[in-house]
Amino acid sequence: MEKNEQLYEGKAKKVFATSDPALVIVDYKDDATAFNGLKKGQIAGKGVINNIMSNHMFQILEQQGVPTHFVEQLSERETVVKKVDIVPLEVIIRNISAGSFAKRYGVEEGIVFDAPTIEFSYKNDDLGDPLINDYHALALKLATAEEIERIKTLAFKVNEVMKQYFDSLNVILVDFKLEFGKIADGTIVLADEISPDTCRLWDKNTKEKLDKDRFRRDMGGVEDAYNEIMRRISGK
Applying CB under 6 A, does 18 fall inside the site for ligand ASP? no
Cα radius of gyration (the chain) = 17
Alpha helices (H) along the chain: 46-63, 99-105, 134-139, 145-168, 213-216, 222-233
Identify which range of 41-49, 91-99, 180-188, 222-230 contacts ligand TMP by CB under 6 A: 91-99
| Nearer CB in complex with ligand ASP: 147/195 | 195
**Per CB under 6 A, 120 contacts ligand TMP:** no
The piece of 2-10, 19-27, 171-179, 218-226 that touches ligand TMP (CB under 6 A) is 171-179
Q: Are 28 and 38 in contact (CB under 8 A)?
A: no
37 binds ligand ASP, rule: CB under 6 A: yes
Least distance from ligand ASP to the Cβ atom of residue 128, Å: 8
Closer CB to ligand ASP, residue 35 or residue 105?
Answer: 35
Residue 92 contact among ligand ASP, ligand TMP, none, beta carbon within 5 to 8 Å by kind: ligand TMP
Find the binder of ligand ASP among 150, 182, 216, 232 (CB under 6 A): 216
Decide: is 198 part of the binding site for ligand TMP (CB under 6 A): yes
Enclosing H/E stretch for 40: strand 39-42
Does position 29 interact with ligand ASP (CB under 6 A)? The reply is no
From the number of C-beta atoms within 10 Å of its C-beta (0-12, 13-18, 19+), residue 122 rates as middle
The three-class DSSP label of residue 200 is strand
Q: Does 215 bind ligand TMP (CB under 6 A)?
A: no
Query: Minimal CA–CA distance to 155: which of 215, 99, 89?
Result: 89
Of residues 3 through 62, those in contact with ligand TMP by CB under 6 A are: none
Min separation Cβ 220 and ligand TMP, Å: 19
**Distance separating alpha carbons of residues 108 and 197, to the nearest angstrom:** 22
Show Cβ contacts of residue 131 under 8 Å, excluding neighbours closer than 6 positions: 119, 120, 121, 122
- Binding residues for ligand ASP, per CB under 6 A? 11, 33-37, 212, 216
